């Protein structure tokens, strides 16, 4: 077996792995935290700093998914021709959309009738790959300019609305639509600016070529990260542009902090992207030489992110179903036709935040041996073409 550390960049796998582990915390909170069925953890009037930062830290997951997927696409492209990479991205993008509408949607709801199709993060990754399959033919600087322009300017669309227009919602507006046979489509992840976040990641793959200077990469990434965070702070303080929801000052300091650090995610505003990717650049710049058992632990999840993503959803939902059965809510209450937090039958369900963290740790730990077996299988069976889609 070839060790993955010899053929992969450890800091990228480490960041992917951290993101995957943190993501599970948010999903465990969705299904198990008592307060999640009554109010949003980002509501400054009802939340607290501990609960808010439990949610806030997970804000980094989706943009890093997208950015790192683009970076990984560049890595894959080093072993392929442009046309081969384009076909791979097109096929994998379509595959991800299908997986979102079937395997992932079922994991959210356990509803055999699929009455609430959701277009969420896997869908956005799939569509972004389809778009990227065409963008890779452009000069690399053109990809950078287009990506930055979309991320920086898309908030100009915030005040433009076309009620009932599903195509516009797919582009830039969180919405729900009634469908025939009592179904409801939820568009949680409009594709702008997610497509640009992925193409931006593809551009920065150029910094990881065999001839790239690691010292120069570290310096540039640190500068970009610091500038992004400073720009976030300046624009957020000005409250003029970059997010559709201005922050507010409250008499209670904690409420002001919550409001300030909660830019819009659906779709991700310019400020949201600056805040999250800024930290990501600094992390990538300063973790390339990290070694040890902790790094290896998180990097494992980063080598099998899609597999982990699917399995962790099913495990969390099954655990919630079992807990519902033994706490008087009945397992049927976990067969959902709406977003789990909006289910009236689950009001009063769940545990406190401390127990939520314990369940999260248990889920991550339980998946470690499973992910390790799958990772070893992938490493020793690279000739199996379909494994590249997992």
pLDDT tens, position by position, 99-128: 999 999 999 999 999 999 999 999 999 999
Q: If pLDDT is split at 50, 70 and 90, which confidence band does 6 have? A: very low
The mean per-residue pLDDT over the stretch 199-221 comes to: 95
- Number of domains present in the structure of the chain: 1
């307060």: which residue's tokens?
35
Give CB contacts under 8 A, 24+ apart, made by 242-245: 242/155, 242/269, 242/270, 242/271, 242/274, 243/155, 243/269, 243/270, 243/271, 243/272, 244/155, 244/158, 244/159, 244/269
Q: What are phi and psi of 63, to 5 degrees?
A: -65, -35
| HSE of 19, CA atoms in CB hemisphere, 13 A | 29
Q: With beta carbons less than 8 A apart as the criterion, state whether 31 and 316 touch.
A: yes
Rounded Cα gap, residues 123 and 298, in angstroms: 25
Contacts (Cβ under 8 Å, ≥6 apart) of 65? 19, 121, 125, 305
Query: Which residue segment(s) compose the domain that 235 sits in?
Result: 4-389
End-to-end CA distance of the chain: 19
Q: With beta carbons less than 8 A apart as the criterion, state whether 249 and 29 touch.
A: no
The reported pLDDT for the residue numbered 348 is 95
Measured CA distances, 143 to 106, 154, 202, 325, 358 (Å): 35, 16, 8, 51, 43
Computed over every residue of the chain, the mean pLDDT equals: 94
Q: If pLDDT is split at 50, 70 and 90, which confidence band does 1 have? A: very low
Q: With beta carbons less than 8 A apart as the criterion, state whether 220 and 209 touch.
A: no
């Amino acid at each position: 077996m070839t060790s993955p550390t010899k053929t992969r960049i450890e800091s990228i796998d480490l960041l992917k792995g951290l993101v995957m582990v943190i993501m599970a915390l948010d999903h465990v909170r969705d299904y198990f935290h008592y307060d999640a069925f009554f109010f949003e953890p980002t509501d400054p009037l009802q939340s607290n700093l501990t609960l808010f930062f439990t949610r806030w830290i997970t804000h980094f997951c989706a943009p890093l998914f997208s950015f790192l997927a683009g970076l990984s696409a560049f890595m894959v492209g080093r072993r392929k021709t442009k046309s081969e990479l384009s076909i791979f991205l097109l096929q994998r993008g379509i595959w991800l959309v299908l997986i979102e509408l079937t395997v992932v949607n079922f994991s959210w709801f356990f509803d055999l009738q699929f009455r609430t199709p959701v277009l969420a993060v896997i869908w956005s990754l799939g569509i972004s790959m389809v778009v990227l399959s065409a963008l890779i033919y452009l000069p690399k600087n053109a990809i950078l300019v287009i990506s930055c322009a979309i991320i920086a300017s898309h908030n100009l669309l915030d005040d433009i609305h076309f009620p009932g227009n599903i195509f516009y919602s797919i582009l830039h507006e969180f919405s729900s639509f009634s469908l025939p046979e009592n179904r409801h489509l939820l568009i949680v992840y409009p594709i702008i600016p997610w497509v640009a976040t992925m193409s931006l990641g593809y551009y920065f793959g150029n910094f990881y070529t065999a001839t790239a200077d690691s010292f120069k990469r570290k310096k540039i990434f640190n500068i970009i990260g610091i500038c992004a965070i400073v720009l976030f702070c300046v624009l957020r303080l000005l409250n003029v542009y970059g997010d559709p929801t201005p922050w507010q000052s409250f008499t209670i300091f904690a409420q002001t902090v919550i409001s300030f650090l909660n830019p819009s995610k659906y779709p991700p505003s310019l400020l949201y992207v600056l805040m999250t990717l800024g930290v990501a650049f600094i992390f990538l710049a300063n973790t390339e030489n990290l070694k040890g058992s902790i790094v290896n632990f998180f990097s494992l999840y980063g080598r099998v992110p899609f597999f982990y993503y699917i399995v962790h959803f099913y495990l969390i939902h099954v655990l919630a179903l079992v807990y519902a059965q033994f706490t008087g809510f009945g397992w049927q209450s976990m067969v959902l036709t709406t977003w789990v937090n909006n289910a009236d039958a689950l009001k009063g369900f769940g545990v406190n935040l401390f127990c939520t963290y314990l369940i999260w740790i248990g889920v991550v730990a339980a998946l470690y041996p499973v992910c390790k077996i799958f990772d070893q299988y992938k490493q020793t069976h690279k000739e199996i073409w379909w494994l590249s889609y997992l």
